[in-house]
């Protein structure tokens, strides 16, 4: 028994070391640095709340970046979840070659976050790219996808939505776990497909919708590769998300203390929205065996 405990600890040791070295220590260290002035070359100098005061009183770039990030998240997450659920509902039917289609729709989530796909996205939506060529065949003029501030964030949002595979797989697993007798009873009562979806399928999917909502929201707040590779945050900072701002301050300007303060503000925002989501879930998430009316 004692030997098994040591064996178990041995298996856990790499994970615990990784958690401490790559997560816990940097987490605490960045909190300390957020109260300092630190350029990576000299010792950190304690500056108290100066970084945070500057963020909210004098830094217009931060406020602009914060607005862009919130808009990006509130655009991306609902669109991605709706699209993932729509595709999962289609793939839930017993179609011919259904295994191939499920694999094909999942592949973008594997490739979507890569640099190669970001570069490919830039070429597709270039002035003479495939998107404008397709519009030309329909008789429409070219669209300045990345040069127009009004279009750039939308184009970046499409890239994020394209990576819907992981959410789709979770929705598909949940759809297949719903008791078929509920649909048979609804059909006997004369309920159509629309009523069946909104009164049976959707309520039973609310725990999975809630899970995907939290996961996708956190990932959207951390988005970096797409806007960095494709637009570099432009034009006119229309796609300048907070992770890009943190990167520029930390590794281009060497304002590590200031970058840490931005990172902690981002952490607080994610935590606050997650807590709001958990609070609101009591009103709209249904769990099997829940005794609430």
Please state the rounded mean pLDDT for residues 182-200.
Answer: 87
- Asked whether the predicted pLDDT for residue 293 surpasses 50, the reply is no
DSSP, res 237: T
- Asked whether the predicted pLDDT for residue 289 surpasses 70, the reply is no
In percent, how much of the chain has pLDDT > 90?
Answer: 42
CA distance 56 to 45: 21
CA distance 47 to 267: 21
| pLDDT tens profile 102-138 | 888 887 777 666 677 788 888 888 888 888 898 888 8
Indicate the pLDDT class of residue 2, thresholds 50, 70 and 90: low
pLDDT (0 to 100) of residue 194: 87
Of 25-29, 52-56, 192-196, the least confident? 192-196
- Asked whether the predicted pLDDT for residue 220 surpasses 60, the reply is yes
What are the start-end ranges of the H helices in the chain? 2-19, 25-33, 50-57, 60-91, 98-111, 115-124, 130-137, 149-162, 165-177, 180-188, 193-196, 202-221, 225-230, 242-247, 256-284
**Which of 129-143, 225-239, 245-259 has the highest average model confidence (pLDDT)?**
245-259
pLDDT (0 to 100) of residue 292: 55
What domains are defined for the chain? Answer: 59-282 (1.10.3720.10)
**Token pair for residue 164?**
């819907």
| pLDDT tens profile 156-165 | 898 888 888 8
- Asked whether the predicted pLDDT for residue 84 surpasses 80, the reply is yes
Model's pTM, two decimal places? 0.88
Three-state DSSP at 96 gives coil
pLDDT (0 to 100) of residue 233: 87
- Asked whether the predicted pLDDT for residue 257 surpasses 50, the reply is yes
Indicate the pLDDT class of residue 279, thresholds 50, 70 and 90: very high
Q: Is residue 171 within 8 Å of residue 210, measured between CB atoms? A: no
CA distance 272 to 36: 24
Question: pLDDT higher for 121 or 290?
Answer: 121
- Asked whether the predicted pLDDT for residue 1 surpasses 70, the reply is no
| pLDDT tens profile 31-42 | 999 999 998 888
Indicate the pLDDT class of residue 15, thresholds 50, 70 and 90: confident
pLDDT (0 to 100) of residue 215: 94
């Amino acid at each position: 028994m004692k030997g098994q405990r040591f064996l178990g600890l041995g298996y856990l040791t790499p994970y615990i070391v990784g958690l401490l070295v790559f997560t816990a220590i940097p987490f605490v260290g960045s909190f300390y640095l957020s109260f300092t002035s630190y350029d990576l070359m000299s010792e950190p100098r304690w500056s108290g709340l100066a970084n945070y005061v500057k963020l909210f009183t004098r830094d217009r770039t931060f406020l602009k970046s914060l607005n862009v990030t919130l808009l990006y998240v509130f655009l991306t997450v609902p669109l991605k979840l709706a699209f993932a659920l729509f595709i999962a509902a289609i793939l839930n039917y017993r179609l011919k070659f259904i295994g191939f289609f499920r694999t094909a729709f999942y592949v973008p989530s594997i490739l979507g976050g890569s640099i190669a796909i970001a570069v490919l996205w830039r070429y597709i939506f270039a002035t003479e790219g495939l998107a404008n060529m397709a519009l030309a065949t329909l008789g429409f003029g070219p669209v300045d996808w990345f040069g127009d501030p009004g279009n750039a964030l939308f184009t970046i949002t499409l890239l994020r939505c394209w990576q819907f595979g992981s959410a789709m797989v979770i929705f598909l697993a949940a759809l297949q776990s719903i008791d078929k007798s509920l649909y048979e009873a609804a059909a006997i009562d004369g309920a159509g497909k629309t009523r069946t979806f909104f009164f049976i399928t959707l309520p039973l999917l609310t725990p999975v919708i809630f899970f995907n909502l939290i996961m996708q929201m956190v990932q959207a707040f951390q988005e970096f590769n797409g806007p960095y590779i494709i637009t570099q945050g432009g034009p006119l900072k229309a796609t300048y998300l907070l992770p890009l701002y943190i990167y520029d301050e930390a590794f281009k300007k060497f304002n590590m203390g200031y970058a840490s303060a931005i990172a902690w503000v981002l952490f607080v925002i994610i935590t606050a929205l997650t807590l709001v989501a958990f609070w609101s879930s009591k009103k709209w998430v249904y769990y099997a065996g829940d005794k609430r009316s």
